[in-house]
Amino acid sequence: MAHRPYYSERGDRLESIQPVEVSRYRGFTRANHWVTAFSLIALALSGLALFDPSLYFLTGLFGGGQTTRWIHPIIGVVLFLSFALMFIQLWRLNMPKPEDTTWVAQIGDVVKGREDNLPELGKYNAGQKFVFWGMSALIIVLIVTGVMIWQQVAGHLVSVPLRRIAVLVHALSAVAIILVFIMHVYAAIWTRGTLRAMTRGTVTGGWAWRHHRKWLREIASRDNKGPAE
Which residues participate in catalysis according to the annotation?
Answer: 184
Nearest alpha carbon to residue 142 among 131, 130, 154, 150:
150
Pair 14, 219: CB distance under 8 Å: yes
The whole-angstrom separation of Cα 106 and Cα 23 is 28
Three-state SS across the chain? CCCCCCCCCCCCEEEEECCEEEECCCHHHHHHHHHHHHHHHHHHHHHHHHHCHHHHHHHHHHCCHHHHHHHHHHHHHHHHHHHHHHHHHHCHHHCCCHHHHHHHHCHHHHHHCCHHHCCCCCCCCHHHHHHHHHHHHHHHHHHHHHHHCCHHHHCCCCCHHHHHHHHHHHHHHHHHHHHHHHHHHHHHHHCCCHHHHHHCCEEEHHHHHHHCHHHHHHHHHHHHHCCCC
The whole-angstrom separation of Cα 85 and Cα 217 is 27
